[in-house]
């Protein structure tokens, strides 16, 4: 290993251990851990990145007497190694993001598995206990405020169903957290990589966001699973139907918003007013508006409403 790689690796390991300690203490710094590893992998190679990750985990585990912290560094660091390789291969933003999100999902699953096996931590049981305590305090407060009994019964039923709903939506929650983690990692990496004169793959303008055509089949499968669940109800089928349907519906809803912004931009409407219109649509919580935007997204993927594919062909 070259001297520069050893020096940068040692500095990166120190930074990672410090970030891990801050994350263990405050719980907000784990998003930064993948960044130094991504830089090391990009500037040197996969082997160097893995050595830095293991060295950081060993230092955190042995010197700080925190085995869980070392394991956390290895798990979260996996995201940085994968993103560093993707950037080194000069992949597009879409591919880099998908690969990073996949790594983040795997990291989240490994984190939960490690906590369950080593620390005997059950996220569903923990959420249930916290929610029962919160709901009991809220109901006592509402009872003291002389809330109508009918409304109190509705709130009681809603609060009692939350733990089971959380269990059903756990896969989607893991995916949402992983997407958020990937976005933050790429944002921090973009800032750091600019220091080295490296530009990350550019994010396409929101008005040009378009999902791959095969996402339509995921949307169809989600609706089909919902129908199957209506006739053959079970917990597994419920979790499968709800998570698949919500994921693909949410993805096409975002594409529907991109289509809306496309036409608002074409109409030369100011950005501030575009944001206002979008905020009003989102805050109304209207199911009809949601479904219209979802269907716009689906139709755009099939029929290219914005003619983006034709523009791309003309540019080539």
CA distance 273 to 279: 10
Nearest to 35 by CA among 195, 198, 199, 185: 185
pTM greater than 0.85 (yes/no): no
Q: Between 202 and 83, name the one with better pLDDT.
A: 83
Residue partners of 170: CB distance under 8 A and separation at least 6: 123, 124
Domain ranges of the chain: 3-121+172-195, 123-168, 204-316
pLDDT confidence band for 16 (50 / 70 / 90): confident
For residues 86-91, average pLDDT: 89
pLDDT confidence band for 253 (50 / 70 / 90): very high
Residue 105 pLDDT: 92
Pick among 1.25.40, 1.10.20, 1.10.1760, 1.10.3470: CATH of 3-121+172-195: 1.10.1760
Q: Evaluate whether 306 touches 262 at the Cβ level (below 8 Å).
A: yes
Q: Evaluate whether 93 touches 50 at the Cβ level (below 8 Å).
A: no
pLDDT confidence band for 309 (50 / 70 / 90): low
pLDDT at 15 over 90: no
pLDDT tens digit sequence for 27-70: 677 888 898 999 899 988 888 888 988 988 888 888 777 777 88
pLDDT at 311 over 70: no
Q: Between 237 and 144, name the one with better pLDDT.
A: 237
Residue with tokens 């979260």: 76
**% pLDDT > 90, the chain:** 17
Q: Which of 12-21, 37-46, 276-285 has the lowest mean pLDDT?
A: 276-285
The CA radius of gyration of the chain, in Å to the nearest whole number, is 23
Q: Between 127 and 231, name the one with better pLDDT.
A: 231
Q: Evaluate whether 60 touches 17 at the Cβ level (below 8 Å).
A: yes
How many residues belong to the chain?
Answer: 316
Residue 79 pLDDT: 92
Q: Is 261 exposed, middle or buried (0-12, 13-18, 19+ CB in 10 A)?
A: buried
CA dihedral 286→291→294→299, nearest 10 degrees, is: -140
List the structure tokens of 43. 């500037």
Tell which phi-psi region holds residue 56, choosing left (phi > 0), alpha (psi between -120 and 50) or beta: alpha
What does the DSSP 8-state code read for residue 285?
T
């Amino acid at each position: 290993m070259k001297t520069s790689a050893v020096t940068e690796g040692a500095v990166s390991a120190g930074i990672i251990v410090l970030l891990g300690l801050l994350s263990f203490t405050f719980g907000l710094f784990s998003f930064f851990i993948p960044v130094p590893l991504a830089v090391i992998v990009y500037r040197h190679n996969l082997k160097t990145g893995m050595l830095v990750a293991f060295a950081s985990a060993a230092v955190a585990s042995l010197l700080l007497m925190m085995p869980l912290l070392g394991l956390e560094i290895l798990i979260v660091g996996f995201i940085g190694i994968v993103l560093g390789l993707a950037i080194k291969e000069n992949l597009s933003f879409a591919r880099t993001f998908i690969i990073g999100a996949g790594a983040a999902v795997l990291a989240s699953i490994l984190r939960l598995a490690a906590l369950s096996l080593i620390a005997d931590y059950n996220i569903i049981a923990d959420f249930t206990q916290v929610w029962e305590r919160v709901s009991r305090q809220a109901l006592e407060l509402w009872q003291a405020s002389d809330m109508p009994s009918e409304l109190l019964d509705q709130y009681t039923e809603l609060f009692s169903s939350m733990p089971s709903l959380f269990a059903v939506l756990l896969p989607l929650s893991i995916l949402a957290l992983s997407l958020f983690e990937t976005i933050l990692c790429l944002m921090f990496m973009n800032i750091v990589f600019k220091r080295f004169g490296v530009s990350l793959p550019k994010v396409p303008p929101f008005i040009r966001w378009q999902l791959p055509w095969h996402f339509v089949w995921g949307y169809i499968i989600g609706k089909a699973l919902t129908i199957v669940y209506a006739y053959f109800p079970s917990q597994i089928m419920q979790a499968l139907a709800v998570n698949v349907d919500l994921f693909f519906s949410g993805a096409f809803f975002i594409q529907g918003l991109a289509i809306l912004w496309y036409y608002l931009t074409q109409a030369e409407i100011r950005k501030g007013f575009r944001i206002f219109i979008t905020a009003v649509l989102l805050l109304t919580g209207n199911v009809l508006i949601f479904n219209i935007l979802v269907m716009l997204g689906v139709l755009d993927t099939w029929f290219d409403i914005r003619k983006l594919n034709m523009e791309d062909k003309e540019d080539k």
